[in-house]
Amino acid sequence: MPAAYINDESEFDTLLATGSTMVVDCTANWCGPCKIVGPLIDRLADEYPDQAKVLKLDLDKNKAIAKRFKISSIPAVMYFKEGELSAALIGVKPYEDFSEALERLL
């Protein structure tokens, strides 16, 4: 099942407040490299359904979040633990890089 999209900053803040381990793929429809990373994030969502919330965020619709976390290039995959940003991977990477970054938080 593909990773769900976060609708807005309010939903994002609510999710952060739960303190769950969270992976957020910052993406945009026009971004070519994002189309490569997207299926890898969907796979992460499939493989870690109970350990982490794996989500996507359209930065065109959520510019405030991009500004807040100083995201200047995408794809950017942010990793949160207990509401705090603990890692970010920028650019196209192999699936193992994304899964290993998540494993370190679990």
Catalytic residue among 23, 34, 44, 54: 34
Residue 62 CA to residue 75 CA, distance in Å, equals 14
- Give how far Cα 2 sits from Cα of 6, 8, 17, 19, 68, Å: 13, 18, 23, 22, 26
Residue 36 CA to residue 5 CA, distance in Å, equals 17
Catalytic residue among 15, 16, 28, 31: 31
Q: Note if 31 is an active site residue.
A: yes
Alpha helices in 1-106 (DSSP H): 9-17, 32-47, 63-68, 95-103
Q: Note if 26 is an active site residue.
A: no
Which residues are part of the catalytic machinery?
31, 34
